[in-house]
Amino acid sequence: MTESPLPIAVLVSGAGTNLQALLDTVHGHEAEVVAVASGAPGALALERAAAGGVQTRVFERSDHADREARDEAMADWLVERGARLLVLAGYMELLSAAFLERFPDAVINVHPSLLPAFPGLHAIEQALAYGVKVFGVTVHFVDEGCDSGPVILQRSLELPDARDPGEVLQALRPIEHSLLPEAVRLFARGAVSADPRNPRRIVIAPQVGESS
């Protein structure tokens, strides 16, 4: 029997290239993007979602009493849409603890560094300032900290002569666009779990018929 696609929601703030990668790969297959939410009314990502026939809604902080009230309204809307996994795809705002409690172990983020190195904003600029030769992308679960949740997937790229943040970002984009859908696929088939001996360590179960 064919399983139904996993209903997911995507939170965005900018151009939405990672959202587009999800729409082009897992949407309508392993997952179904049922909602796209943003705090930025002019985000190009909202246009990408609308072009893909996905419901969108903007939750500006100025329209609510505080961040917690905004997050509660956004969580209510996402629950109404039936989302079982939330994907932060270039979402540039912190989420309240109360919001995360509405979606336990079901919020993931993509970050342009090999966490725990260079968390937070301007990760690529941080890495360049440090002088690293290897860059990378991390997909991780979201907790109340800043890019501090357990790591699901990582992939690295050697760029020994990199100087420009834009150049590094362009090199990392294909990795982001591959790794994020891969993490959604793994979550959809129930292959992602915490190691009982170390809850910070995420275990990926092999697919049936796949050698371990």
Token look-up 């300032």 returns 129
Distances (CA, A) of 108 to 42, 66, 138, 160, 211: 23, 24, 10, 29, 27
Residue range(s) defining the domain that contains residue 131: 6-204
Does residue 1 belong to any structural domain of this protein?
no
Catalytic member of 27, 111, 140, 177:
111
The pair phi, psi for residue 126, each rounded to 5°, is -60, -45
Q: How many domains does the chain have?
A: 1
For residue 58, give the CATH number of its domain. 3.40.50.170
Does residue 209 belong to any structural domain of this protein?
no
Which segments of 62-133 are extended strands (E)? 85-88, 107-111
Q: What is the pLDDT of residue 1?
A: 37
Q: What is the pLDDT of residue 3?
A: 77
Does residue 211 belong to any structural domain of this protein?
no
Using one digit for the tens of pLDDT, what is the confidence trace for 153-196? 999 999 999 999 999 999 999 999 999 999 999 999 999 999 99
Using one digit for the tens of pLDDT, what is the confidence trace for 42-68? 999 999 999 999 999 999 999 999 999
122 is catalytic: no
Does residue 125 belong to any structural domain of this protein?
yes
For residue 134, what are the contacts with CB-CB under 8 A and spacing of at least 6?
A: 114, 156, 157, 158, 159
- Strands 31-38, 6-12: parallel, antiparallel or unpaired by DSSP? parallel
